[in-house]
Amino acid sequence: MADSSNTSSSTAATTTANPPAIRSWADEADEIDQAEKSSAANENDSAEPQIGSLQIDETKRVKNSTLDDPEDSRIEAVTSGDTLYKSAKRFEDLNLSPELLKGLYVEMKFERPSNIQEISLPMILTPPYKNLIAQAHNGSGKTTCFVLGMLSRVDPKLAAPQALCICPTRELAIQNMEVLLKMGKFTGITSELAIPADAANYIPVSKRPPVSAQVVIGTPGTINKWVTARKLGMSCMKILVFDEADHMLAETGFQDDSIRIMKAIVKASADSQVLLFSATFGENVKAFVTKIVRDLFVKDYNQMFVKKEELSLDSVKQYKVQCPDELSKVMVIKDKILELGQKVGQTIIFVRTKNGASMLHKSLVDYGYEVTTIQGALKQEDRDKIIKEFKEGLTQVLISTDLLARGFDQSQVNLVVNYDLPVRHESPSEPDHEVYLHRIGRAGRFGRKGAIFNLLCNDRDSMLMSKIENHFNSQVTEIASWRSDEDFENALKKAGLL
């Protein structure tokens, strides 16, 4: 299976043009023409099973199975065995090296662990190192949990791969590497990205030297190629992390590649710790994940989860806008959201397809707006450049397929627009609740204020929106008129952005 971040083969793909037929997991198939329209044309490649409530088998509960009065009661932890865990109110409670503490305080500028960190970090860092299946809100600090876990387990004196993090996209892999380099700045720990190289830097896997970096972060296709070619050894591996684990192990995701990597690690280093992190875990996926972890690693595992009814973002305000046609959706973005949005921060606009992204990009550019667009068919170096410019604040508006729906962290994003609502791959008449949750999680990171605008164009859109509201038991406020400047201004004021 190719990398999700790579839209064709991860070998010499970057030397070719960008044919329209190329499709990434996060880009919905475009409609070819009217005669060939089918329900499949509206499928979303990143769909997953419906969100479940993460019910825990009560028979697995044991004494001492809860942490000491976590501040955030919405986060529940279930531990196995007799290991006692105490919530970490301070990073000093975690027995970290002085170099790591310096990275946390000086580089990351943290003051204390977040709620999710104070609960999960003791489970990650306390011997014996048990596996962990962890679910928590978007923007709650999950990345710090597993990056700190990897850095804390590495022996800086051993020049061999000891920690591996697998991500669904190159963008997420690069972002996680940036966090690791910052947090581990004073440790001397080495690291390497395992993502498809751009055309200028491409080297055949057979000609590259064996990996000696202590931490490897990458996408599943490239990692599997390195493992198969015996360039990435597993014999010293201590910790394996799956970021966006529900997608990595779902049938519609990267299940085959992920299991292959797990088996390679078990064969070479059976005592490795496995951390599975995501904001969402559907019941089907969770059942499969727990079975894989239990069967492959034959050891105790801990769990941390958020109740289904708590899977929302209180810091963001959600709105729906009834638009009579496609042109009015463009006009709403142009005249209302972007005009007002210039005052409040950056904006991400989500669309279903690559063609939809191109159409909206052209429309806004023709109106004189500076926008950038990212989707799976772009060359890798172009994708990297677009993300870099957006993260540096050089561009304010980014149009994206669901390539950036998961994990993308940019603190200045205060507005998210769903130009198209996400639908499920296997059933286009059903909304993809998980993708919706991930999309709105791009705004309001770490408790900041944010607003979401859902643009509805027909009865189907209204039906999808109604199902999303029912699923999350949350009524989304309707903007009275798509033409009213005052209505949009009031919406942003209620969101705390104006």
Q: Please tell me the predicted confidence (pLDDT) of residue 41.
A: 31
For 325-362, the pLDDT digits (tens) are 999 999 999 999 888 877 788 999 999 988 889 999 99
> Helix, strand, or coil here: 32?
coil
Please tell me the distance from the alpha carbon of residue 461 to that of residue 451, in angstroms, as a whole number. Answer: 19
What's the CA gap between 420 and 401, in Å, rounded?
Answer: 10
Residue 194, strand partner residues: 218
- CA–CA gap between residue 293 and residue 133 (Å, rounded): 9
Bridge partners for 166 per DSSP: 218, 242
Once rounded to an integer, what is the mean pLDDT over residues 455-474?
92
Q: Residue 66 has what pLDDT?
A: 34
Q: Which residue has the tokens 């990056």?
A: 147
Q: Which two tokens stand for residue 297?
A: 């690693």
Q: What percent of the chain is modeled with pLDDT above 70?
A: 81
Maximum distance among all Cα pairs of the chain, rounded to whole angstroms? 65
Tell me, what's the pLDDT at 252? 65
The pLDDT value given to residue 410: 77
**pTM of the complete model:** 0.69
User: What integer pLDDT is reported at residue 253 of this predicted model?
Assistant: 64
pLDDT score, position 186: 97
pLDDT-derived band at 121 (thresholds 50, 70, 90) equals very high
> Domain segments of the chain: what residues?
75-306, 316-495
Residue-level pLDDT at 245: 84
The first and second tokens of residue 265, run together, are: 């690690």
Kindly state the tokens that stand for 179. Answer: 């966090």
Q: Is residue 310 within 8 Å of residue 279, measured between CB atoms?
A: no
**What residues contact 496, with CB distance under 8 A and at least 6 apart?**
317, 449
Residue pLDDT, tens place only, 277-299: 887 777 777 777 778 777 777 67
Indicate the range of 50-59, 211-220, 365-374, 387-396 predicted with least confidence: 50-59
Report the range of poorest mean pLDDT among 11-25, 231-245, 416-430.
Answer: 11-25
Superfamily for the 75-306 domain: P-loop containing nucleotide triphosphate hydrolases (3.40.50.300)
pLDDT of 29 reads 57
pLDDT, tens digit, 9 for 90 and up, residues 404-423? 877 777 778 889 999 999 99
CA proximity to 245, closest of 196, 306, 215, 288:
288
Task: Answer whether 75-306 and 316-495 agree in fold.
Answer: yes
Instruction: Please check the confidence at residue 30 and state whether its pLDDT lies above 90.
Output: no
What mean pLDDT do residues 51-73 have?
33
Percent with pLDDT over 90 in the chain:
42
CB proximity list for 89: less than 8 A, separation 6 or greater: 112, 113, 118
Which of 94 and 448 is assigned the larger pLDDT? 94
CATH number for region 316-495: 3.40.50.300
Whole-number Å distance between alpha carbons of 394 and 409: 16
What is the rounded CA–CA span in Å between residue 455 and residue 315? 20
